[in-house]
Amino acid sequence: MILIDQHTKQIMEGCKVRAFDAGLRFGNETLEYIVTNSDLIELSPKHMIPTLYDYWLQDIQVLRGKGEYDIYPNNPFETVINTRPAISFYNDNNPDWLNVMIFYHVLAHIDFFQNNKFFSKTWDYDFKEKALTEKRIVARLRSQHGREVDYVIEFARGIDNLIGYFSDLDNTEDYQLLNLPSKVDYYFNTFLQAEKTVSMKFFLEEVEKYNSISANSPEEKDEIFFSKIVKKHPEFDAFYKKGKFVMASKNKPDLLQFIMRESKVLNEENNMWKQSIIEIVRDTSLYFSPQIRTKTMNEGWASYWHEKLFMLDDRIKGHEIAFARINAKVTSINHIGLNPYAIGWRLFMQIKEMADQEKYSYAYNKIMDIEDRKKFDNGSNLGNDFIFHVRENYCDSTFLNRFIDQDFVDKYKLMVVGQRINTVKNVKEYYVKSRKASEYKKMMMESLYHPPFIKFEKDENGALKLYHLFEGKELYRDYIKNTLIGLEYLWGNEVILETTEIDWEEIKKQKSEKLEPKYQKVLYRVKNKKVTKQKLT
Amino acid sequence: MSEITKSKSGISNENANIEKIIEDQISPQDYFLNNEKGFLGLYDYNDQDFLIGFTTNAFHANRVYDLDRLLEKDKIREKDGYPRKIKLGRLVKPAKDGKDKTIIVPTTAEEKFYHWASDQNIGEGSPTGGSGDGEEGEVVGEESLRPEGDGEGEGGGQGQGAEHGMGADAYDVGRILTEQFELPNIEEKGKKTSLTKYAYNLSDKNRGHGQILDKKSTLKRVVKTNLALGTIKENEEIDASKIIITPNDHVYRILSRERAYESQAMVFFIRDYSGSMHGKPTEVVVTQHIYINSWLVFQYKRQVQSRFIVHDTEAHEVPDFYTYYNKNVAGGTEIASAYKLVNEIVEKDNLAKDYNIYIFHGTDGDDWDANGEKSLLELRKMLTYTSRVGITVAENSYSGSHNTAVEKYLKNSKLLETEAKKLHFDSFIASEADEQRIIESIKVLIS
């Protein structure tokens, strides 16, 4: 892994100037490294972050990667990681014109990382440095606790997709606090009863006191009442603050956080070190969360700009045909299948065009006549501003949901492709299932990253109860057992999962040609590493 | 100590050997090449890490992606009461000419709660996107449900990959199988000088320099020299002060390269490629034979010769695993033909003397010789010289469980009891067999 040479760096700097003029915004410092394919294989289990903590399963993935490379040798063009400064990796044998194209692509990615709001939590620090510190922490803990560190990593990673990414992104903590109990409610309901466990008599006396103050001076009742309380319990304010924080985080759908807070074993003194590992795993997962949720947009955005800026670049005239070949490979739309580069790129082009003509407007939307719609153009030319607004404020789900419309689907002849088995010909057929924008959008939404939604609570016996909200897809059964065993390890007590599964036995009973799916609620329990399953009636 | 926290925090401490296991973990190799020890050693430091806080391939070069170490970790994991993590994965690269490339790699999965469209087998598969012309409902593409054969039918899978799997990777695969599934080690027989393997030991002697001084020989030489010099005379008292020792008299043991002696194995793989083997039975049999071959390659430190025989009503020897793997299904079934061929080869090449002979036969249990008269005759002959005959019946789901001709006549012949040590048999329904079941079956065949 070496830095690119001066000549190539100069090309990069030239690209930066031009990209900046076009409106892209990114930190001026970047690092570009030449890597071998073998480096890339070794980096990929670490999501390309060279400083990510070590974990033995990554080594197995490297061995697998090497095998894969044997049958699928490939030269990736580039990889860029969201660090400060941003780092990108390249092959060493690209011609200059190709580097120009790749650099524009990379710069657009960096612009996206640094301006899209879903990445806002990654803006304030350099992940590679943080990861390096964490890597050292993990190494040190390993020296003290041996292989148990790997179990904690493994089991924490087992639920690292059930973290509250969106709620973590939400900075308006105050909004959540608004819904929390007032000081008075907290004092009577929690402080006296749970924290101080006072006698019923005392409790009633306090209520009486409060009521009398309230009757005499309804305006300042809280102030008067709590001035006395604080004298008696100077710790009250601190408790209230902490209590509010705990309750605020209770509202977050973050299973890892919940376990760290509520697990009995993890809060034992000699197990506190496990919390730091879980925190590391959680932070890492949070860091990667925006990336997977903006895949289509990010690639579309980078493809949009590499094409645009390459064609405008005055340094490399004469390579348009070679460029067109490579560009087409990247951005050609699949006959069957989904290519995020292709869809994202075309959507950004479409959005710019529509916004240039001011078609995202009420005036346009109320027109029903197809010819009038085609002719509509207010000539505002605000498309460029609008796509920058989109790159700042959207993620894949909102992006696709908002901008896929019938015009888009028609223009690129998009379709939903269904699959069915033709038993006569003994083939699997792909057929045009629909050309409706709504169906296409639905299909796109179905293909987006979407971890299961699982609610959780601690039951009266101290067991962790998980409720999987069934959204038409069951949990992958082969993985349930080990994930539960891992959860039990972290929780230190029984873990129960309620979920819904396809009932094959019921389906087998069906006589008709066309089978209807049947679902059944089931309960998984894990206790002492033994997992059992029962049907719920 | 960390052991104490371990037992408290739920890792199984039923195993009294926990001390031992922890001991086992630290090998000299680990000490140098693995920062698992927790503190940083000499080789864990490098400029990139500590000067600019950036890890480079210099660091990666120091890491050894050592399968042994990973397998060892996996073993300890099982002792702690958690399921194994390392699995065998098969990677297939489909090719248009039908010569798919297959390799076997160690693989693993990070288990999480994931969504899975389980109902894709009911009715339709999940839809995807596309673009192009065509009315709604029109078919825009199709994919054959069975791989194309060369005309006669089809084989178990395609590819040089099989060849590949049998070569460089077979040893690693065997190692995983042995470790992971605790397949038994085999007994030695007919050691023979290896042509490729050497052992290094201190068997040679050298005068002047070497590794260890051979005192007895040195003394002899000293006496000889001094006899010649006349400082020692016959029938006279020896005056030690007059004895001269030249550097040339020092006799040393020196490290030398010797041809190693190794056990050798000859393995016959027999595959039924009759028409009824189409599909899953073939896949199961071929997969099983890949694994068995890999395991033997590992056990015999690559000193394995494999021969491949396919049969329908006639048996043919094919030159390599590639052909064996890819041979297309053909006509009816006569198992005796294959057994007979093996017996002929063994007799002709006089193999029984020098080799451990293993014979593995995979079939769907169908045999036109329904009472097995011919087959049993050949099988009895076979049992006189082999170390093991392993027969797998990968049943078709329609034939009903444990109801095949082969299974019936084997049971009736009582050979399974009288020759229990040599003849092992397993049967299962092919369509229900996953990797675990196939390996279970291997255990039955070779344990």
| A443/A344 same-domain check | yes
pLDDT tens for residues B369-404? Answer: 878 888 888 888 888 888 888 888 888 766 666 778
pLDDT for residue B320: 72
* Cβ of residue B20 closer than 8 Å to a chain A Cβ: no
Show the domain range for A245: 180-250
ipTM score:
0.83
Residue in A255, A288, A430, A506 to test binding to B, most B beta-carbons within 10 Å: A430
B157 reaches A (C-beta below 8 A): no
The answer to whether residues B391 and B385 touch, using CB atoms and an 8 Å cutoff, is no
pLDDT band at A25 (very low <50, low <70, confident <90, very high): very high
Q: Determine, yes or no, domain membership for A121.
A: no
CB A176 within 8 A of CB A164: no
**Which domain range does residue B326 map to?**
160-189+263-446
> Is A39 part of the contact surface with chain B (CB cutoff 8 Å)?
yes
Mutate to test the interface with B, among A47, A162, A476, A501 (most CBs of B within 10 A): A476
Mark yes or no for CB contact A51/B2 under 8 Å: no
Residues 55-74 of B with CB under 8 A from A: 55-60, 63, 65, 67, 70, 73
A353 Cβ partners below 8 Å, 6+ apart?
A383
Written as six digits, the tokens of B76 are: 């300890």
* Shared-domain flag, residues B342 and B437: yes
Contact yes or no for B118/A473 (Cβ under 8 A): yes
Measured in Å, how far apart are chain A's first and last C-alpha atoms? 59
Residue in A139, A418, A481 nearest the CB of B124: A418
Whether chain B has a CB inside 8 Å of the CB on A454: the answer is: yes
Q: Are A102 and A204 members of one domain?
A: no
Q: How many CB pairs under 8 A join A and B?
A: 291
Residues B278 and B412 in one domain: yes
For residue B116, being part of any structural domain is answered with no
Provide the number of structural domains found in chain A: 5
Instruction: Answer yes or no: do B130 and A434 touch at CB < 8 A.
Output: no
pLDDT tens string A125-166: 999 999 999 999 998 998 889 889 999 999 999 999 999 898
Taking an 8 Å cut-off on Cβ atoms, the answer to whether B113 and A450 are in contact is no
| Probe site for chain A from B68, B103, B111 (most A CB atoms < 10 A) | B111
Same domain, A84 and A209: no
In a domain, B271, yes or no: yes
B30 touches chain A (CB under 8 A): no
What is d(CA A418, CA A438) in angstroms, rounded to the nearest whole number? 15
Query: Nearest CA to CA, how far is B387 from chain A (Å)?
Result: 34
CB distance A26 to A111 below 8 Å: yes
How confident is the model over B353-368, as a mean pLDDT?
Answer: 83
Q: Give the tens place of pLDDT for each residue, B30-42.
A: 333 333 333 333 3
Q: Is the confidence at residue A235, as pLDDT, over 90?
A: no
Q: Could you say which of B80, B109, B143 is where a domain stops?
A: B80
Q: Do both A355 and A443 map to the same domain?
A: yes
In this predicted structure, what is the pLDDT of residue B48?
Answer: 34
Q: In degrees rounded to 5, what are phi and psi of residue B158?
A: -120, 160
Residues B228 and B174 occupy one common structural domain: no
Q: Do A489 and B10 touch (CB under 8 A)?
A: yes
Going by pLDDT thresholds of 50, 70 and 90, the confidence category of residue B16 is very low
Number of Cβ within a 10 Å radius of residue A362: 6
pTM of the model: 0.67
Are residues A440 and A424 part of one domain? yes
Residues B380 and B239 in one domain: no
User: Residue B253: pLDDT above 70?
Assistant: yes
Same domain, A466 and A355: no
| A125 touches B: beta carbon within 8 Å | no
Digit-coded pLDDT (tens) for A430-480: 889 999 999 999 989 988 888 999 999 999 999 999 999 998 888 988 889
Contact A67 B111 (CB under 8 A): no
Identify whether A161 is part of a domain: yes
Bond prior to A253 in cis (omega within 30° of 0): no
Residues B334 and B402 in one domain: yes
Mutation target to probe the A interface, by most A beta carbons within 10 A, among B113, B145, B154 is B113
Closest Cβ–Cβ partner in A143, A145, A421 for B39: A143
CB atoms A450 and B115 under 8 Å: yes
Tally of domains in chain B: 3
Mark whether B282 and B342 lie in a shared domain.
yes
For residue B168, being part of any structural domain is answered with: yes
- Residues B227, B313 within the same domain: no
Locate tokens 């043991």: which residue?
Answer: B253
